[in-house]
Amino acid sequence: MTRPDARGFALEQFLVFLQKSPFNMLLFGLALASGAMLLWPLISRPFRVSHEVGAIEAVQLINRRDALVLDVRDTGDYAAGHIASAKHVPEAQLAERLKEIEKHRMRPIIVSCRIGSRAPSVSAMLRKKGFAEAFALRGGIAAWQQANLPLEKS
């Protein structure tokens, strides 16, 4: 008498369980999808070039290399609180006001927005325009505040 393979038997039982109800199949599909979404940032990180800096890295760039902080938020958000000596150029006006930033081409530029959603695209645009060291502030001003770093009000 031959004994069935335990793994094969368990797999067969699992497949029978999934086939009993469409709801079981849906739950299994959701579990696979959520697991993939959780693992995706870990898997993709080594393959992408990061042009983002955290709040502490930004402070180091400002202090050690005289980085320019470019705040692309709206005027009201900027007036409510911004990083010390940040240059305010709203994202909508960036194309027209690029000449104001031109003199800072050789310095690192840290682009900040409210939560870090707009800064990566602005920093990518600046890199395309020849600003080699344009970085997005990861998490934006919200991450800056969460790190208990000071803001100026104007």
Which among 53, 113, 134, 136 is annotated as catalytic? Answer: 113
SS3 149: coil
Q: Give one DSSP letter per residue of 71-117, joined into a string.
A: E-S-HHHHHH-B-TT-EE--GGGTTTTHHHHHTTTTS-EEEE-SSSS
CA angle 53, 94, 129 (to 5 degrees): 70
Mark 131-140 as b/e (b = at least 16 C-beta within 10 Å). Answer: bebbbbbbbb
Contacts of 78 by beta carbon, 8 Å cutoff, 6+ apart: 71, 86, 88, 154
CB of 89 closer than 8 Å to CB of 70: yes
89 is catalytic: no
Q: Annotated catalytic sites, by residue?
A: 113
